[in-house]
Amino acid sequence: MIRRDKSIIRRATLADVPLIVKVEELSFDVPWPDFLFKAHLNNPGFVAYEKEGNILGYAMVGDSEGKAHLQNIAVHPQCRRQGIGTELLEWCIDLVKLYGYREMILEVRQKKTSSQAFYANNGFKISGTVAGYYVDDDAIIMTKNI
Ligand SMILES: CC(C)(COP(=O)(O)OP(=O)(O)OC[C@H]1O[C@@H](n2cnc3c(N)ncnc32)[C@H](O)[C@@H]1OP(=O)(O)O)[C@@H](O)C(=O)NCCC(=O)NCCS
């Protein structure tokens, strides 16, 4: 659906990958390289937030042991705190519900308290930790019944 402000959430395409990588590089200390994004293009849960030809954010959801697993989400730093991340997350939740999933799970760096606040604001609760999950940090596991 194209919104009144001309933004749209839709499946990511090969043409989007360079712009997605730019957002990724502005968002993470250890960004995913382009080949990883390209490898996920056949996943209907890999979506881009586009507005007038620009990619403002993206998200990726897949399966992990029967649970919907949020693998990646990021919004361009200049476009944060405008609800885009929430829209992307809600889009992913609506999609996986169509496939019958009833729980979503994700990992977030222990040091990334801002991202934890984003997930908490969207109804996720801490359900565990994994020591040494990242090269330089532990992971917080967050889950939400959907
Ligand atoms: C996490 C991220 C995707 C959120 O995207 P966003 O578009 O800014 O999020 P929203 O505008 O939908 O935020 C919704 C709510 O989440 C909370 N929130 C979002 N960012 C926050 C921050 N930096 N600090 C505290 N709370 C935050 C707030 O409650 C916010 O509502 P408010 O703006 O009315 O106060 C974005 O900050 C990002 O790309 N971060 C870098 C990549 C990253 O860490 N991804 C997650 C990896 S696990």
Which residue has a Cα nearest atom 16 of ligand 1? Answer: 118
Q: Is the CB of 71 under 6 A from ligand 1?
A: no
Q: Are 44 and 95 in contact (CB under 8 A)?
A: yes
The pLDDT profile of the chain, 146 residues, written as one tens digit per residue, is 667 788 999 999 999 999 999 999 999 988 999 999 999 999 999 999 999 999 999 999 999 999 999 999 999 999 999 999 999 999 999 999 999 999 999 999 999 999 999 999 999 999 999 999 998 899 999 999 99
User: Of the CATH numbers 3.30.930.10, 2.160.10.10, 1.10.150.20, 3.40.630.30, which one belongs to the domain with range 7-104?
Assistant: 3.40.630.30
Which residue has a Cα nearest atom 33 of ligand 1? Answer: 81
Would the pTM of this model clear 0.75, i.e. be above it? yes
From ligand 1's centre to the CA of 19, what distance in Å? 20
Q: How far apart are CA 34 and CA 51, in angstroms?
A: 21
Q: Are 65 and 78 in contact (CB under 8 A)?
A: no
Q: How far apart are CA 64 and CA 3, in angstroms?
A: 32
Domain boundaries, the chain: 7-104
SS3 17: helix
* Residue the block writes with tokens 């930790």: 129
Q: Is the CB of 73 under 6 A from ligand 1?
A: yes
